[in-house]
C-alpha cells in the first residue's frame, strides 16, 4: 500500500504541478505528499522531479515513469468504477449532439430507450456544427467524417451508403444520366459542409484518366434536409445518405441514378470525452445506440411531402 500511495502522490503532483495542489486532491498536507514522492524516488533509485524554490519539473525518467503510472492508476480506477456501476441505476441529464439528419434515425428508437432507462433525461442538440465535447459540456456526440482529437473515445456504427437521387418529374424533363459524363447536361443540388464551406464531392467511380464531369449546381445548402426537399421537388439531382432517401425511394417520389458508378460508404461514429470514469448513463446510451442504429429492424421517419 505504501508503494501505491507513493505512485498516487507522484502522479497527482506531476498532473497538477505542485505538492500543494496534489495534497488538496488527495486530502493530504503538501509535506506528506512530498515525503511520499521522496520515498518513491529512494525506492527507485532515480530522481523523478527537478525541484526549485518556485517550481517542480519532471526529469526525463520522471516523464517516462509518469506515463506508465498514469495507465496503471487509470486501470485501477476503471476497475473500481466498474464495480460501482454494477450497483448503480443509470440516471441524470444526458446531453447529446447530433447532425440534423440524425433525427430520422434516433427518434424511432428512443421510446424503447426511455422506457428502459426512465431516470435519464435526454437533451438533444441537432446541429451540423462540430462541437468541442469538453468545452461545450456534451456527453455524447454522433458525427461522420473526420474524427476529433485524442481527448475523445470513438465507437463506430455500421456504415451507410450515399446515393444519387432525382425526382421522376425531373427525369421526365431532363432524362436520366447513364454515366458520370452525362451529368454535364444536368442540374445539381449540392450540399455544403457547414464547418469548411466546401461542397460535398459526389462519390462516383470514373475510368482511369476520365475527368470530372462539370455539373451546374442550381442550388447549394448546408442542410441535408433542404437538399432532399429540393431534389424531391424536381429541382435537380442530389447526393444524400440512404436512410434519408429510403422512404421517398419506397414511395416512388425519388429514384436512384448512376447506382452502378457509386462507391460511397459513409460512417457515423459515437464519440464521448476520454476521461476514464465513464458514467452509467453514457455507457448505456452508447451501448443501446450502437446496437440499434443501422440494425436490420431500425426504422426511419416517413419522408417529407415533396
Report if residue 305 sits inside a domain.
no
Look at the block and give the residue holding cell 486501470. Answer: 75
Q: Any idea what DSSP says for residue 53?
A: S
Q: Are residues 213 and 166 in the same domain?
A: yes
Distance of CA 27 to the CA centre of its chain: 36
Identify the pLDDT of residue 147: 61
Q: Are residues 54 and 170 in the same domain?
A: no
* pTM, rounded to two decimals: 0.59
Last residue of a domain, one of 85, 114, 130: 85
pLDDT digit string (tens) for 57-74? Answer: 899 998 889 888 888 888
Q: Give the number of other CB atoms < 10 A from CB of residue 99.
A: 22
Q: Are residues 141 and 285 in the same domain?
A: yes
What the block records as the C-alpha cell of 78 is 476503471
Q: Are residues 142 and 218 in the same domain?
A: no
What the block records as the C-alpha cell of 275 is 476521461
CATH of the domain at 27: 1.10.10.10
Q: Are residues 178 and 257 in the same domain?
A: yes
Q: Give the number of other CB atoms < 10 A from CB of residue 85.
A: 15
Report if residue 306 sits inside a domain.
no
What are the E-state strand segments in 39-119?
A: 49-51, 56-58, 92-98
Report if residue 123 sits inside a domain.
yes
What the block records as the C-alpha cell of 289 is 445506440
**CB 131, CB 138: distance < 8 Å:** yes
Q: Give the number of other CB atoms < 10 A from CB of residue 34.
A: 21
175 vs 169: CA distance, rounded Å: 10
Q: Are residues 202 and 173 in the same domain?
A: yes
**CB 266, CB 293: distance < 8 Å:** no
pLDDT digit string (tens) for 82-99? Answer: 666 656 778 889 999 988
Q: Are residues 57 and 176 in the same domain?
A: no
Report if residue 301 sits inside a domain.
no
Q: Are residues 69 and 218 in the same domain?
A: no
Q: Are residues 176 and 244 in the same domain?
A: yes
62 vs 73: CA distance, rounded Å: 16
CATH of the domain at 243: 3.40.190.10
CA 59-64-66 angle, to 5 degrees, is: 85
248 vs 163: CA distance, rounded Å: 12
Report if residue 222 sits inside a domain.
yes
pLDDT digit string (tens) for 121-172? Answer: 999 988 877 777 777 788 999 887 666 555 678 888 877 889 999 999 999 9
Look at the block and give the residue holding cell 454535364. Answer: 184
Report if residue 186 sits inside a domain.
yes
Report if residue 302 sits inside a domain.
no
79 vs 277: CA distance, rounded Å: 10
Report if residue 34 sits inside a domain.
yes
Longest distance between any two alpha carbons in the chain, whole Å: 84
Identify the pLDDT of residue 293: 77
Identify the pLDDT of residue 121: 93
Which residues of the chain are modeled with pLDDT < 50?
Answer: 1, 276, 296-306
**CB 166, CB 254: distance < 8 Å:** yes
Q: Are residues 151 and 166 in the same domain?
A: no
Range of the domain at 119: 92-159+267-292
For 208, 241, 275, the CA distances from 227, given in Å and listed in that order, are 30, 11, 37
What the block records as the C-alpha cell of 293 is 442504429
Q: Are residues 13 and 66 in the same domain?
A: yes
299 vs 173: CA distance, rounded Å: 33
Q: Are residues 135 and 188 in the same domain?
A: no
Identify the pLDDT of residue 302: 46
Last residue of a domain, one of 42, 60, 85: 85
Last residue of a domain, one of 39, 68, 85: 85
Q: How many domains does the chain have?
A: 3
Identify the pLDDT of residue 71: 83
Identify the pLDDT of residue 107: 86
Amino acid at each position: 500500500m505504501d508503494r501505491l500511495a507513493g505512485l498516487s502522490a507522484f502522479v497527482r503532483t506531476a498532473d497538477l504541478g505542485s505538492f500543494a495542489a496534489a495534497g488538496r486532491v488527495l486530502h493530504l498536507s503538501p509535506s506528506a505528499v512530498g515525503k511520499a514522492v521522496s520515498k518513491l524516488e529512494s525506492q527507485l533509485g532515480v530522481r523523478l522531479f527537478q525541484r526549485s524554490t518556485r517550481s517542480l519539473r519532471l526529469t526525463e525518467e520522471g516523464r517516462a515513469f509518469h506515463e506508465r503510472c498514469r495507465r496503471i492508476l487509470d486501470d485501477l480506477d476503471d476497475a473500481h468504477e466498474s464495480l460501482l456501476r454494477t450497483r448503480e441505476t443509470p440516471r441524470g441529464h444526458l446531453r447529446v449532439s447530433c447532425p440534423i439528419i440524425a433525427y430520422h434515425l434516433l427518434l424511432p428508437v428512443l421510446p424503447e430507450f426511455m422506457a428502459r432507462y426512465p431516470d435519464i433525461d435526454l437533451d438533444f442538440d441537432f446541429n451540423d456544427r462540430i462541437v468541442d465535447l469538453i468545452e461545450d459540456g456534451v456527453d455524447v456526440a454522433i458525427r461522420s467524417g473526420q474524427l476529433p482529437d485524442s481527448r475523445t473515445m470513438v465507437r463506430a456504427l455500421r456504415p451507410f451508403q450515399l446515393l444519387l437521387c432525382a425526382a421522376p418529374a425531373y427525369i421526365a424533363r431532363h432524362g436520366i444520366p447513364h454515366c458520370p459524363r452525362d451529368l454535364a447536361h444536368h442540374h445539381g443540388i449540392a450540399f455544403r459542409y457547414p464547418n469548411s464551406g466546401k461542397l460535398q464531392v459526389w462519390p462516383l467511380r470514373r475510368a482511369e484518366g476520365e475527368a470530372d464531369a462539370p455539373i451546374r449546381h442550381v442550388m447549394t445548402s448546408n442542410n441535408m434536409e433542404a437538399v432532399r426537399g429540393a431534389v424531391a421537388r424536381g429541382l435537380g439531382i442530389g447526393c444524400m445518405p440512404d436512410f434519408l432517401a429510403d422512404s421517398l425511394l419506397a414511395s416512388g417520389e425519388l429514384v436512384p441514378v448512376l447506382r452502378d458508378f457509386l462507391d460511397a460508404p459513409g460512417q457515423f461514429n459515437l464519440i464521448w470525452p476520454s476521461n476514464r470514469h465513464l458514467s452509467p448513463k453514457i455507457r448505456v446510451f452508447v451501448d443501446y445506440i450502437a446496437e440499434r442504429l443501422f440494425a436490420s429492424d431500425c426504422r426511419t421517419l416517413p419522408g417529407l411531402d415533396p
